[in-house]
């Protein structure tokens, strides 16, 4: 994940309306079409981490690493008018928009110098910092709780009560039996399940430390307090995201060797590939894909396969944001 990045509060890009929102690079298949939506500019380098505010308004993070410090800002673009505005002048991780609360949720460096969860009003300066850290957080449908990982890879999942700040572990997730580390949780729209990534127990190699190579998707049933494996094989299935209806799950996987966007039913059946970015010289970025509120579109970031980020460096170097049109999920 993004450990080791620093936040420079107050860094601002000079906006001049130059965010490129184009539809020229369109790739059509029998059931889907995919197109490049946001390209990098001098003012918005390396756009990534898309999130939807409305079906026409797409938020994203733009930033870059300069002299060991990651600098950036959060923007919103109207896909119809192409107008763009800044909503937060600092670099953040895991942005998402909480529709019911009308708040932007994100992770940034907090007052204790660690990664912490924040919420911010889109139109006002109200900012709230929570008293718990959060890797890849996901909010419950009622916005009363947050599930998150405590680290990257060799980690566990926890649930925090937003009002009280009480944090509890998410019970047995298969560690030692099937998994050796969990991450990337996503709360189901019905509030009854959480899908997550489980790294295979072979990741723990005696005398060699932790070497994660295989990951699968699991579902945890909150009422039954039991987990279920959804995917198999020797791949890296990561970054699951429920559709707004809860009937399907989009995720990123290297099942076709190149990291692509995939889709499956919420019970793990009907796995199918949605993109073939490898043919264009890209791979899907390592972050959660973003469903539009009407579930007709999925926004995601891509990076060139010919110029992958250097190990330990900025993971979204040369990234762009694409949109996949999938129609209504039935």
Render pLDDT for 2-55 as a digit per residue (tens, 0 to 9).
Answer: 332 223 233 333 333 445 444 344 455 545 789 999 999 988 999 999 999 999
In a domain, 250, yes or no: no
pLDDT score for 132: 85
Say whether both 179 and 118 belong to one domain: no
pLDDT score for 152: 72
In a domain, 172, yes or no: yes
Q: Which residue has the tokens 């190699």?
A: 205
Tell me the pTM.
0.89
User: Do the Cβ atoms of 300 and 321 come closer than 8 Å?
Assistant: yes
Q: Structural domain tally of the chain? A: 2
Alpha carbons 48 and 303: distance in angstroms, whole number: 9
Q: Which residues of the chain have pLDDT under 50?
A: 1-18, 20-26, 30, 328-330
Say whether both 7 and 120 belong to one domain: yes
Say whether both 90 and 202 belong to one domain: no
Say whether both 222 and 98 belong to one domain: no
Give the SS3 label for residue 200: strand
* 176: DSSP letter: T
**Domain boundary, last residue among 234, 249, 269:** 234
Say whether both 152 and 169 belong to one domain: yes
80-98 pLDDT, tens per residue? Answer: 999 999 999 999 999 999 9
pLDDT score for 72: 95
pLDDT score for 310: 65
pLDDT score for 28: 52
Cβ-Cβ contacts under 8 Å for 87 (sequence gap 6 or more): 59, 74, 75, 76, 104, 122
**Domain boundary, last residue among 200, 234, 268:** 234
Q: Determine what percent of the chain is predicted with pLDDT higher than 70.
A: 88
Cβ-Cβ contacts under 8 Å for 136 (sequence gap 6 or more): 1, 94, 148, 149, 183, 184, 185, 288
In a domain, 17, yes or no: yes
Say whether both 208 and 320 belong to one domain: no
Say whether both 184 and 300 belong to one domain: no
Say whether both 135 and 124 belong to one domain: no
What's the CATH code of the domain at 198? Answer: 2.120.10.30
- Could you tell me how far CA 247 lies from the centroid of its own chain? 19
In a domain, 48, yes or no: yes
In a domain, 243, yes or no: no
Say whether both 11 and 100 belong to one domain: yes
Give the SS3 label for residue 203: helix
**Domain boundary, last residue among 207, 234, 261:** 234
Say whether both 90 and 187 belong to one domain: no
Alpha carbons 140 and 209: distance in angstroms, whole number: 34
In a domain, 192, yes or no: yes
In a domain, 307, yes or no: yes
Q: Residue 196 sits in which domain range? A: 131-234
In a domain, 264, yes or no: no
């Amino acid at each position: 994940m993004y450990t080791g990045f620093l936040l420079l509060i107050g860094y601002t890009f000079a906006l001049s309306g130059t965010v490129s929102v184009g539809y020229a690079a369109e790739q059509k298949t029998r059931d889907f079409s995919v197109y490049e939506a946001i390209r990098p500019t001098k003012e918005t380098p390396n756009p990534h981490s898309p999130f939807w505010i409305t079906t026409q308004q797409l938020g994203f993070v733009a930033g870059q690493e300069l002299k060991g410090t990651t600098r950036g800002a959060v923007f919103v673009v109207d896909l119809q008018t192409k107008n763009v505005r800044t909503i937060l002048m600092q670099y953040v991780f895991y942005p998402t928009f909480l529709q019911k609360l009308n708040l932007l949720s994100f992770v940034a460096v907090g007052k204790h110098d660690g990664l912490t969860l924040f919420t911010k009003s889109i139109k006002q300066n109200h900012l709230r910092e929570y008293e718990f850290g959060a890797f890849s957080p996901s909010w419950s449908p009622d916005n009363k709780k947050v599930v998150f990982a405590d680290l990257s890879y060799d980690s566990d999942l926890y649930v925090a009560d937003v009002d009280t700040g009480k944090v509890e572990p998410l019970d047995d997730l298969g560690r030692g039996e099937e998994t050796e580390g969990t991450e990337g949780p996503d709360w189901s729209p019905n509030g009854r399940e959480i899908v997550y990534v489980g790294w295979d127990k072979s990741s723990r190699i005696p005398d060699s430390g932790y070497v994660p190579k295989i990951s699968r998707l699991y579902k945890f049933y909150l009422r039954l307090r039991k987990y279920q494996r959804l995917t198999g094989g020797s791949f890296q299935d990561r970054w699951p995201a429920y559709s707004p209806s809860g009937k399907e799950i989009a995720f990123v996987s290297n099942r076709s060797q190149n990291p692509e966007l995939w889709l499956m039913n919420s019970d793990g059946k009907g796995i199918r590939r949605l993109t073939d970015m490898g043919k264009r010289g890209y791979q899907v970025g390592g972050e959660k894909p973003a469903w539009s509120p009407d579930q007709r579109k999925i926004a995601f970031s891509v990076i060139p396969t010919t110029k992958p980020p250097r190990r330990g460096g900025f993971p979204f170097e040369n990234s762009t944001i694409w949109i996949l049109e999938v129609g209504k999920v039935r």
